[in-house]
Amino acid sequence: MSFDIVVGVSLAYVLVLFVVAFLAERRARRGRLGWLRSPLVYTLSLSIYCTAWTFYGAVGYAVRSGLEFLTIYLGPTLLMVGWWWLLRKLVRIGRNQRITSIADMISSRYGKSATLGGLVTAIAVLGTTPYIALQLQSVTLSFGVFADTPVGWDTPDQWLVTAWVAIGLTVFTVLFGTRNLDANERHHGVVTAIAVEAVVKLVALLAVGIFVVWGIAGGIGETMARIDASPISQVPIDGSRWFTLIFLSGAAFLCLPRMFQVLVVENDDERHLSTASWAFPLYLAAINLFVLPIAVVGLDLLPPGSNPDLFVLTVPLAMNQDMLAMLVFLGGFSAATSMVIVAAIALSTMVSNHVVIPIWMGVRRGLGGTSGDVRGLVLMSRRLSIAAVLALGFLYHQVSGGGAALAVIGLISFCGVVQVLPALVGGLFWRGATRIGALAGTLCGFAVWVYCLLLPSIGADVVMSAEMLAHGPGGIAWLTPQALFGVPGLDPVVHCMLWSMLINTMVFCIGSLASFPGPLERLQGAQFVNVFEDGANPRGWNEGAVESEDLLVMAQRILGAREAQNLFLAEARAQGKGGYLPDNTPDFLERLERELAGSVGAAAAHAMVEQIMTGSSVTVRDLMAVADETAQIMEYSSQLEGKSRELERTARQLRVANDKLTALSVQKDAFLSQISHELRTPMTSIRAFSEILMSGETLSAEEQTHYSGVIHDEAQRLTRLLDALLDLSVLEDGRAQLAEQDAVLRDLIDRAILSTTSLSSNTVFEIRRDEPSEKIVLRTDVDRLSQVFINLVANARKYCDAEKPRLDIRVSRAGGELTIDFVDNGSGIPAASQQVIFEKFARLSTASAVDGAGLGLAICREIMVRLGGSVAYLPGQGGAAFRVSMPVAEAVRAA
Amino acid sequence: MHHHVLLLEDEPNIIEAIRFILSRDGWQVSCHSDGATAVDTVTRLEPDVVVLDVMLPNRNGFDILRDLRAQRATASLPVLMLTAKGQAKDRERAEDLGVSAFMTKPFANAEVIERLRSLVGA
């Protein structure tokens, strides 16, 4: 086929991809994501795992090693089917933390360590470069096989084709991979183009397969027979190699930068994973379906010595199926370009965020902190990184001469890249994993890989001498690169994987156990390991003592003026503040940091915010130490606060107690003074009259009798007073013994009326009662209750000032409560005095009027309390009115 | 000439006893029991000396004494205060208000006469 047609079709195909990418990008920008976010697109984008290595190399692999090529696809299949929860954890963390690449993931996990980020980036670049070279080589090879070389072109001039392919891919990647600065604003255009390419390569391989099975071999039965007869089925299965390769491919699926890019960074929806977990293995199965038939038919059909890596293309060509060959060419082209584009995007993000930006930050700090436009710098560094990555791949391709078999280059790459696996998986599940452990483990594993696999693979006498390869450096046998520690005879890949993973994991564990994680590491570790636990969102920032304006200035440089202003404005609104400057709450700083991390990576974003936060170049460790100290001081001061509150409370209690004591003391003084008065008054009369009687003055007999009578009465009064006082004191102390017995209420009232008759003998005192209602049997201290009744009736007799004094005694019962009201028709007790009459010595009238001691009602009150009831003044009854209430057993009525 | 003594007291037996001993000693004795109108009564009757009980109904003896000292006619009137509350601070309070003499109940009859005599300069 003519060179021009092949070039033309290739260009047309690229143009179609451009249009697809452009349309998808425009659609996404307008917010109409629709099918762009379908799980199908996500699954198809994962197919970049199947590169030209799969497309062309699988057949070659099968020809050389039989069924072993399947291991490369069994690894990811097992991972997708059995371990998709691990992927889900990765995706969740990636979204939560706005992770931009696998280097960012590991750097974030270990305290946003810039060193780790740089190391992972270096490994990724070293591991991916041969792989990119491999893609370029496959395109060039297929081109060379397919197109008639123009007149004047020698085979060495094919490098021009490679160069043009590299340049074209650079342009495409720059155009669609660096449109958005924020790597987390997904590359919808690129992903859609990749999905289209995934379909093309699958269709192409299936078409060749169908042509081979039914067009050449003549059906399934014949094909199976051919396979059985071919040497391919005779290749024995090497168990250790199978195990190693399955593990290796599964691990590489996780660790390859481009896989991380489509799996985690470009993931729109966590649920897409569950679709991909069955759909992607199906895709892998489909794409491998016809590998064996093509290999077998190719071996039969083509002359010995033909490159089996190109059977997919050369078989249709040999049968003069030009259109099919063209489809195959485009399929291979798709497989190669999609891998290169995504790998270049992923690597450029890593290089830019973990190498260029940190170096620039250091330089800027050295220059005294004048900040430039980060936005432009980041974009420029990404674009240059893409060009550099492709240039490296091109260079590798030229230097290595494109001689090695495709599968071998792929496996070497895999081994290098999976050296980040222990740090990655360990960081997801083990909170004790530290930065030191991750660094040391990864470095050791990387070193073993370089020493045991990478350098020897370049060939004897290039870097390592043949002597050294055979017998170890300086003849030290146990350091022989492909037989470490005296274990010879292992396959180089198995050997490298065994030792590198073993040493890597051991050093990682020991290093983690031996070192102490910094505060930020602990925070991040908890967030990663516990990503599925809700609410666990420890804060990286404790204080917000910075001018928001400084942060805005910085954010504008990185996010772009409008995005930054919108972010700040929205936050200010959310905080309920006017203007566009929000308070620097930890929430906001955290969010800002994440926004920035989407553009420049977590470590750089943290360092930037930190620089503004502190105004000087303080390390994260210092900052966290200060935060720890602050937390301690806050804890201490809150303890002090608690103490002082407690003291205050105690003081208040003491004051109350003191007030009570003071009041009690005043009451006691008043009481003593009252007692004194009440005792001295009768004694005064007694002394005065006895002195008169003793003075020997002439007194009439009448006078003598009268004065003796006064002395007698006053002595009686004194006795009553002392009795009342003692009674009250006994009641108040609760020492009074209650003697309960049954009695009928009516009898008690009768007794009270009878024993007070003498008090009102001179006037007619009417007492009205309703005797039937008084037929209630009580069980109580009868004498005490009688004492209360007597007191109340006596008070009425003594103090009722009506012309026709009358006392109403009304009994009523409601539920379990009995009330007896004593209401007279006198002038009653003034409202102001109603509160004090039950106090001791609260006698209202003068002692001269009657001979009470002023303790009667006080005693009544004490008695009723002791009997479980009460006595109270009833206002608004016309005269003086008292109500006695007490509990009474239900339905007990005297006959 | 008989000296005129006004007895401000509410306890009937004590009134009777004091009235008896003072009459026998040749005093003209008036008596009043209500605290509220005590000052008016003193002003109206113009006695030579007043015997004042602290615990009177409606108004206490200290307030009455203060009023008596406050008005010119009675400012220097001899007042003998009698109290049943035998507390030291009552005596101090009475002395601060300008009492002429202070005795606690129960008292010796002879002493009352003695004090009153000295107050009126008899």
Q: B16 to chain A: which residues are within 8 Å by CB?
A: 710
**CA of B95 vs chain A CAs: smallest distance (Å):** 19
The whole-number pLDDT of residue A690 equals 92
Give the count of beta carbons closer than 10 Å to the beta carbon of residue A165.
Answer: 22
Task: Mark yes or no for CB contact A684/B57 under 8 Å.
Answer: no
Equal fold, A3-150+162-406 vs A737-887? no
**The dihedral sign for the CA sequence A261, A266, A267, A273:** negative
The string of pLDDT tens digits covering residues A699-738 is 888 888 998 999 998 898 888 888 888 888 888 777 777 8
For residues A721 and B87, what is the distance between their CA atoms, to the nearest angstrom?
Answer: 21
- For residue A859, give the nearest of A801, A802, A795, A775 by alpha carbon: A795
ipTM of the complex: 0.92
Residue A428 pLDDT level (bands cut at 50, 70, 90) = confident
pLDDT, residue B121, reads 83
Percent of chain B surpassing pLDDT 90: 58
Residue B62 has what pLDDT? 92
The CATH class, in words, for A737-887 is alpha beta
pLDDT at A849: 41
Per-residue pLDDT tens for A753-764? Answer: 888 887 765 667
Question: Percentage of residues in chain A with pLDDT exceeding 70?
Answer: 80
- Give Dmax (Cα) for chain B: 37
Q: Is A692 on the interface with B (CB under 8 A)?
A: yes
Residue of A666, A669, A672, A677 to mutate, interface with B, max B Cβ within 10 Å: A677
Q: Are A688 and B21 in contact (CB under 8 A)?
A: yes
pLDDT of A152 higher than 50: no
Which tokens sit at A278?
Answer: 């069955």
Q: What is the model's pLDDT at position A70?
A: 84
Which of A165, A167, A172 lies closest to A25 in space, CA to CA?
Answer: A172
A758 lies within 8 A of chain B by CB:
no
Query: Cβ A687–B104 below 8 Å, yes or no?
Result: no
The B-side interface with A (CB below 8 A) comprises 10-14, 16-18, 20-21, 24, 33, 55, 57, 84-87, 104-110
Among A1-5, A279-283, A754-758, B83-87, the least confident range: A1-5
Per-residue pLDDT tens over the stretch B43-59: 999 999 999 998 888 88
Cβ-nearest to A680 among B18, B33, B84: B84
- Residue A401 has a pLDDT of 60
**What number of other Cβ atoms are within 10 A of residue B99's Cβ?**
20
Ranking A20-24, A118-122, A174-178, A883-887 by mean pLDDT, the lowest is: A174-178
Per-residue pLDDT reduced to its tens digit, A466-494: 666 666 666 666 666 666 666 666 677 78
Which candidate from B85, B87, B107 shows the least CB-CB separation from A684? B107
pLDDT at A465: 67
Query: Between A687, A847, A848, which is nearest B106 by CB?
Result: A687
Tens of pLDDT, residue by residue over B60-117, are 899 999 999 999 888 999 999 998 876 778 888 899 999 999 998 889 999 999 999 9
Tell me the pLDDT band of A539, cut-offs 50, 70 and 90. Answer: very low
Direct distance between the N- and C-terminal alpha carbons of chain B, in angstroms, rounded to an integer = 10
* 8-state DSSP, A893: B
Convert the pLDDT of each residue in A804-842 to its tens digit. Answer: 888 999 999 887 889 999 999 888 888 877 777 887 776
Listed in sequence order, the DSSP H helices in A178-260 are 188-210, 220-229, 239-255, 257-260
pLDDT cut 90: percent of chain A above it: 4
* Beta-carbon separation of A680 and B10 below 8 A: no
Q: Domain extents for chain A?
A: 3-150+162-406, 540-618, 629-712, 737-887
By DSSP bridging, strand B101-104 and strand B79-83 are parallel
Confidence at residue A370, expressed as pLDDT on a 0 to 100 scale: 47
Look at the block and give the residue holding tokens 């890019």: A261
| B31: phi then psi, degrees, rounded to nearest 5 | -140, 145
Pseudo-torsion of CA A682, A687, A688, A694, nearest 10°? 150
Query: Nearest Cβ partner of B106 from A684, A692, A848?
Result: A684
Question: Is residue A119's pLDDT more than 60?
Answer: yes
Query: Which residues lie across from B80 on neighbouring strands?
Result: B51, B101
* A229's tokens: 């007869």
Residue of B nearest to A694 (CA): B109
- Mean pLDDT over residues A383-400, rounded? 81
DSSP codes joined into one string, A615-632: SS---HHHHHHHHHHHHH
What are the backbone dihedrals phi and psi of residue A768, each rounded to the nearest 5 degrees, phi first? -110, 130
What one-letter code names the amino acid at A321? Q
Q: What is the pLDDT of residues A43-79, one digit of tens each?
A: 888 888 888 777 887 888 888 777 888 888 888 888 8
Which residue is associated with the tokens 């002597």? A467
Question: Is B5 in a helix, a strand, or coil?
Answer: strand
Fold type of domain A3-150+162-406: Sodium/glucose cotransporter (1.20.1730)
> The domain B4-120: what is its CATH number?
3.40.50.2300
Q: Which of B8, B9, B13, B83 is most worth mutating to test chain A (most A CB atoms within 10 A of its CB)?
A: B13
Q: How many CA atoms lie within 13 A of A683 on its CB side?
A: 16
Residues in chain B within 8 Å Cβ distance of A699: none
- pLDDT digits over A850-889, tens only? 455 678 888 888 889 888 889 988 888 888 899 999 988 7
- The pair of three-digit structure tokens given for residue A821, joined into one six-digit string: 């009201």
Candidate from A673, A681, A847 with C-beta closest to B105: A681
Span A221-262, pLDDT tens digits: 777 777 777 777 777 777 777 888 888 888 888 888 888 888
Judged against a pLDDT cut of 50, whether residue A97 lies above it is answered with yes
Q: For residue A760, what pLDDT is reported? A: 62
Distance CA A892, CA A638 (A): 64
- Residue-wise pLDDT for A302-350, tens only, equals 777 777 777 888 888 777 777 888 888 888 888 888 888 888 888 888 8
Asked if A332 and A313 count as a contact pair (C-beta separation under 8 A), the reply is yes
- pLDDT of A538 strictly over 50: no
Chain A with chain B: Cβ pairs closer than 8 A? 72
Is the pLDDT reported for residue A606 higher than 50?
Answer: yes
pLDDT in tens, A350-367: 888 888 877 877 777 666
Cα A644 to Cα A632, A640, A654, A657: the distances in Å are 18, 6, 15, 20
pLDDT above 80: residue A603:
no
A163/A140 Cα distance (integer angstroms): 9
Residues in chain B: 122
- In chain B, what residues touch A698 (CB-CB under 8 Å)? none
Choose among B14, B17, B87: nearest Cβ to A673: B87
The reply to whether residue A685 touches residue B17, judged by beta carbons under 8 angstroms, is yes
CA B99 centroid distance within chain: 10
Domain spans in chain B, listed from the N-terminal domain onward: 4-120
CA distance A464 to A662: 101
Whether A685 and B84 lie within 8 Å, measured CB to CB:
no
